[in-house]
Amino acid sequence: MDVHLPQEGRDLDGHRRQAVAEAGEGVADTTTGNDGTRPLVGITDYVEPPADLEREAFPEAEFCFLDDWRASPANRDAWRGCDALLVWHWPVDRETVAVLDRCRIVVRYGVGVDLVDLPALAARGIPLCNTPDYGTEEVADTACAMILAVQRKIVAYDRACRAYTEGWQEHRLVPHPRTSDCTLGVVGVGRIGTAVVNRMKPFGFRILGYDPYQPSGHEKAVGYARADRLDELLAQADIVTLHCPLTAETQGMMSREAFAAMKPGAALVNTARGGILDGLDPLEEALRGGRLAAAALDVLPDEPPKQHPLVAAWRADADGVRGRLLITPHAAWYSERGWVEMRSKAAETARLYLMEGRLRNRIGDEPWSRSE
């Protein structure tokens, strides 16, 4: 049963009893809620009713769609009554955690946990889990498409040849090395990074990977050359593709210093997190100054993008960025199947813990692999 909680006047315990009664005899009488009723799972944002995919994955639970707890006492009570939260982009900050009186687990629909106050959850004994495997194929495919588009200058040719009024085939964009003469640098060789490595090997790239959180020998098992330092990778790679989450360590990692360390004429692909860029100023300087030949971005520091000269130039298809800057609207993760997997897997994770006491994909149990 799905309920979109009203702004005012909700009788939480009454709703629980009514939902159990309406479920009928065909539903098992589970008693895993903190008050002995069926567990109540709150969906904080983005996902719209009905919670059909979540309910299929967690049939013993009831689901509710939460409104901003700050807006009214009734909303606050609704959050307090949830046994689990499924979170998209809602900031689970210290103030939000303080409201979670009954909550036993928080599950992120996606991978990143940069909007979650981990110490605040830990202080209340609430585990945080994410859903790291819902869109591995989609993001890897998008990254590879961007890599090849940059390497074979697909977008650059598309933009340039619109202006060809004389001649055709004799127009060439240079320099344009053969793919097998190029080095692909993969920053973060976790699930998605590994998928990119496996997809790109047949194209002939020399593949260099940097991931200090992967054990020694991982490069031999997957098949890439290991860089021990980020600057070592940046100095050698013709194309750098990012596959690390946003953490205190990676925030602003692609700074002016990082772009200066890149091989002149290299390209950057980012399907990971926009905050890995240290804003758009260093990227614009690297593009306009020629240090960077091209950039392909599925993620930006601010989404939707705020006003910035680089964004304005991209929108206008202006000289200096035309054919050199490719932007997509944080869509690398999406396919219909990926959407289903993300929602189902998040609900399954909540079910495993509330019904069986099993935690999967917990954040904080061990040093988190800093690669997606």
Q: From the candidates 10, 108, 191, 273, which is the catalytic residue?
A: 273
Contacts of 48 (CB under 8 A, 6+ apart): 65
Longest dimension (CA), the chain: 78
Is the Cα torsion angle 161, 162, 164, 168 positive or negative in sign?
positive
Q: From the candidates 22, 56, 249, 303, which is the catalytic residue?
A: 303
Burial of 254 (C-beta count, 10 Å sphere; 0-12/13-18/19+): buried
By DSSP bridging, strand 62-65 and strand 105-108 are unpaired
330 is catalytic: yes
243 is catalytic: no
Distance separating alpha carbons of residues 50 and 1, to the nearest angstrom: 9
Q: 31: which 2 tokens?
A: 């008693």
Distance separating alpha carbons of residues 135 and 129, to the nearest angstrom: 16
Q: From the candidates 4, 330, 360, 362, which is the catalytic residue?
A: 330
Contacts of 366 (CB under 8 A, 6+ apart): none
What separation, in Å, do the N-terminal and C-terminal C-alpha atoms of the chain show? 34
308 is catalytic: no
Distance separating alpha carbons of residues 367 and 372, to the nearest angstrom: 14
Residues in the chain: 372
Distance separating alpha carbons of residues 183 and 51, to the nearest angstrom: 45
Residues 205/223, Cβ–Cβ less than 8 Å:
no
User: What are the residue numbers of the active site?
Assistant: 273, 303, 330
